[in-house]
Structure 1
C-alpha cells in the first residue's frame, strides 16, 4: 500500500534539495568565474569587473598557452606520467592487497607487512631523505623520479585489501579445487569482480599524478622536463622577453590573472573528461572498499 506524503516529508525534501542546490552553486559558480576571467580582457580582470560572464571576450590567454611548444612538451610528459604511474600503481596495489587480504594462517607475515605499511603511512622520512634517495639512484631529470617515489599508495592498498576481504571465500575454494593457481585466482576471479574498487583507486592515481606539480620542482633540473602542472605553475606574462611587435600587440590584453585562470581551466579538462567514465564505479568502490565487516 502506497502512503501519501505528509507535509513534513514534503518540507524535508524541499530543505534537502535547497541545501544540495546551494552546495552545487558553491562548487559551480567559482568555476564559472574562473572560466570567464580566462576569456576576459586583462583590464577588466584586474579591476575585478568579471562575474559569471566574460568582459571584452578574447582568447589571448589560451593563445599564449597553446602556441608555446614547451606547453605541449609538458602536456605529453604529464600524459606519459599518468599512463605509466597509474598502471604501476594499480599493478603494485593489486599484488600487495591480495596477500594482505588473507588471514595469518594463509599468509604468516601478514601482520608484519601491515604494521610496516601503517607506520610508513603515518610517519614519513621527509623530503630531504627522499630527494637524496632519488638522486643517488640516478633518477633526477627522468620520468621515473615522478613515478617511483609514490609507486605504492598505501591508502589505496588498504582500500583494495578491504574490498578483497568482502569477496566470498567460497569462490577461491572452488577455484583451488579446480586446480587454479593463486595468480590465476587473482586475475581470473578477484580482478573481474573488483572493477568498482579498481576504478576508484585508478581515479585517485590519475588525479594525483596529473595535479602534482611539486615533484617536478624537486626532481627536474631542466624546465624542458617539467610536467604540465609544474610548467603552468611557473608560467607568467613577461613582456620584457617579447621583441616581435605583433606578439607584443597580441599579448597586450593578457595579464597574470587571466593567464592563471586559463592555466586552471586547461589543467582540469583532462580530469573532467575521464571522470564521467569512472563515476559509475566510484561511489560503490569507495564505500564497499572502506567498510570492514
Structure 2
C-alpha cells in the first residue's frame, strides 16, 4: 500500500517546482523578447517599449535580411561546414577513442598518446602558428580552413573514450570468440551501444561549428565566402549603396536593434530544429545493462 506524502515532502516539491519555473522564465524571457523585438517597429524598439508582445508589428527587418543573396550563400556555407565538421569530428573521435579505451597492455604506448592529447588540450599552439599553418597549406578562403583546424576535439575524444571503457568487456570477448575482427566489434557492438555519447558529441560539434564566427574572420578574406555567423557579425546597412527607392523605404522602417534581433532569431532556428532529434538520447541516459561482470 502506497503511503501518502507528508506535508513537508509536498512543500519541498512545491518549492522545487517554483524554482524550476522561475529559472525557466529567466531563460525564456530574453529569447521571447528578442523574437518580439524582431517583429516590432523601429520606433518601439529604439524606445525600449517592447516587452513580451510586438509593438507596431512589421516584417521589414526580415524582408531586408532575406533579400540579401549573400545571406543565403553564407547560410549554405554554414550548413556545409556543420556537415563536414561534424562528420570529421565523429570519425576522428571514434577512431581515436576506441584504441585509447584499451589498457596499456592491450595497446602499447597508450599512456604516451593520452599524455600528448591532454597536453594539446591544455596548451594550444596559438592563433598565429595555426594561421601560418593554414596559409602554408593553401587553405585560406576555402571551407577546409573552417573545418580542419578543429577536426580533432580532445574533449569529445576523452568523453567517448570513457564511454567505451564503461562497456562491459564480456561483450567484446564474446565477439572475439565468435571470430569478429576489431573493426566489426567497433561498428557492430560499440557504436550501436554508444548512440547517446555519439549524439552528445554530434550536438557539441554542431553547435560549435554553427555559432563560430571568429574562424571566418581569421581564415576567410572574401566576404562572399563568409559563414553565416561571420556574415551576421559583419552585416551593416550601408545607405550609400542603396539606389532603389523601395530599398531605401525598407531601411527607413528598420533599426539596428530590430535587424540584429532578426539576425539572432534566424541564426537560432537550425539549432532549435536539430535539438529535438537528439534530445531523446539525453532522456534515455547513458546506461548499459545488457551484460554484468
TM-score computed with the length of structure 2 as normaliser: 0.96
Give the direction of change, closer, same or farther, for the CA distance of 1:285–1:120 in structure 2 (3 Å limit): farther
Deviations 1:225-265 (A, max 9, x none): 00000001111122222111111112211111111100100
Deviations 1:43-89 (A, max 9, x none): 11111111111111111111111111000000000000001110110
- Which has the higher mean CA deviation after the structures are superposed, 83-92 or 246-255? 246-255
Q: In the aligned structure 1, how far is the partner of 2:111 from the partner of 2:4?
A: 54
- Which has the higher mean CA deviation after the structures are superposed, 80-89 or 241-250? 241-250
Which residue in the other structure is 2:265 paired with? 265
- Structure 1 residues 124-273: aligned runs within 5 Å: 124-273=124-273
Q: In the aligned structure 1, how far is the partner of 2:196 from the partner of 2:237?
A: 43
Which residue in the other structure is 1:103 paired with? 103
SS at match of 1:251: helix
Q: In the aligned structure 2, how far is the partner of 1:286 from the partner of 1:23?
A: 26
Q: In the aligned structure 1, how far is the partner of 2:251 from the partner of 2:286?
A: 45
> Which sections of structure 2, spanning at least 5 residues, go unmatched?
289-293
Q: In the aligned structure 1, how far is the partner of 2:127 from the partner of 2:276?
A: 35
SS at match of 1:163: helix
Which residue in the other structure is 2:7 paired with? 7
Which residue in the other structure is 1:36 paired with? 36
Q: In the aligned structure 2, how far is the partner of 1:85 from the partner of 1:148?
A: 8
Which residue in the other structure is 2:85 paired with? 85
Deviation of residue 31 (structure 1)? Answer: 0.5
RMSD: 1.2
Deviation of residue 282 (structure 1)? Answer: 2.6
Q: In the aligned structure 1, how far is the partner of 2:253 from the partner of 2:39?
A: 10
Give the direction of change, closer, same or farther, for the CA distance of 1:268–1:241 in structure 2 (3 Å limit): same
Give the direction of change, closer, same or farther, for the CA distance of 1:287–1:68 in structure 2 (3 Å limit): farther
TM-score computed with the length of structure 1 as normaliser: 0.96
Q: In the aligned structure 2, how far is the partner of 1:287 from the partner of 1:252?
A: 57
Deviations 1:124-179 (A, max 9, x none): 11111111111111100000000000001111001100100111111111111111
C-alpha contact (below 8 Å) 1:198/1:285 kept by paired residues: no
Give the direction of change, closer, same or farther, for the CA distance of 1:125–1:275 in structure 2 (3 Å limit): same
Q: In the aligned structure 1, how far is the partner of 2:157 from the partner of 2:44?
A: 48
Q: In the aligned structure 1, how far is the partner of 2:85 from the partner of 2:261?
A: 27
> Which sections of structure 1, spanning at least 5 residues, go unmatched?
289-293
Q: In the aligned structure 2, how far is the partner of 1:66 from the partner of 1:100?
A: 47
Which residue in the other structure is 1:291 paired with? none
Q: In the aligned structure 1, how far is the partner of 2:138 from the partner of 2:278?
A: 36
